[in-house]
């Protein structure tokens, strides 16, 4: 039990750090914040491996690392809380689908497996997108000019969140296709291996 807790904490910290590292090499970056990269994949992976608790913890750490590494664009403390505390933490809600994804994997149901992975990524990405839109409306309205601030914030944040979500789905799909057991923590991996042996 203690070893499992240690493994959980180590994996959460490592994958949150990996997410931050991947954010340093984006495909493209926007001037007022936001980028398209592979950075969300490690958080989604932890959420599928360890469920909601693991996903939320990794997402929160990822947001903290954004601030600590100087990648964050901070206008006010409340904006920082929404854009980095809440927005990155809610990526972890992907973990709601962890059990369903693992069950589909165990039953070798590729259609359900792909569907639940997609739902998880869409949920996490969608919640993060919503948080960034709110921060944009309340703290970056001056950039909207004559445009409606809600429309501006939705378009601005969609311009990087939609491609990032698609890239995350494709990346996770490739990872899970090549190595489906990457979804499972140690105990689950042993059970899966034994089940496949019969």
Within a 10 A sphere around the Cβ of 28, how many other Cβ atoms?
11
Task: Delimit the domains of the chain by residue range.
Answer: 2-26+33-182
Three-class secondary structure of residue 179 per DSSP: coil
Residue 176 confidence (pLDDT): 85
> Which numeric CATH code is attached to 2-26+33-182?
1.10.1760.20
The pair of structure tokens assigned to 110 is: 């590729």
CA atoms within 13 A on the CB side of 30: 17
**Averaged over 14-29, what is the pLDDT?**
91
Residue 47 confidence (pLDDT): 97
| Among the listed residues 35, 41, 30, the one whose alpha carbon sits nearest the alpha carbon of residue 91 | 41
Between 105 and 121, name the one with better pLDDT: 121
Are 47 and 120 within 8 A, CB to CB? yes
What's 96's DSSP letter?
Answer: G
pLDDT in tens, 136-164: 999 998 888 899 999 999 999 999 999 99
- Evaluated on CA atoms 180, 181, 183, 188, the torsion sign reads positive
Q: What is the CA radius of gyration of the chain?
A: 17
């Amino acid at each position: 039990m203690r070893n499992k807790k240690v493994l959980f904490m180590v994996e959460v910290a490592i994958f949150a750090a990996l997410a931050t590292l991947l954010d340093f090499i984006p495909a493209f970056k926007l001037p007022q914040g936001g980028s398209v990269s592979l950075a969300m994949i490690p958080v989604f992976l932890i959420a599928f491996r360890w469920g909601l608790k693991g996903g939320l913890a990794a997402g929160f750490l990822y947001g903290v690392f954004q601030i600590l590494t100087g990648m964050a664009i901070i206008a006010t403390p409340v904006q920082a809380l929404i854009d980095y505390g809440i927005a990155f933490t809610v990526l972890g809600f992907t973990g709601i689908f962890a059990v369903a994804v693992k069950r589909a994997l165990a039953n070798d149901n590729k259609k359900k497996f792909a569907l639940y992975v997609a739902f998880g990524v869409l949920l996490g990405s969608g919640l993060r997108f919503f948080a960034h839109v709110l921060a944009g409306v309340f703290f970056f309205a001056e950039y909207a000019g004559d445009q409606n601030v809600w429309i501006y914030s939705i378009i601005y944040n969609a311009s990087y969140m939609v491609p990032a979500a698609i890239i995350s789905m494709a990346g996770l799909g490739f990872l899970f296709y090549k190595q489906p057991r990457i979804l499972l923590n140690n105990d689950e991996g042993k059970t899966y291996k034994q089940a496949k042996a019969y």
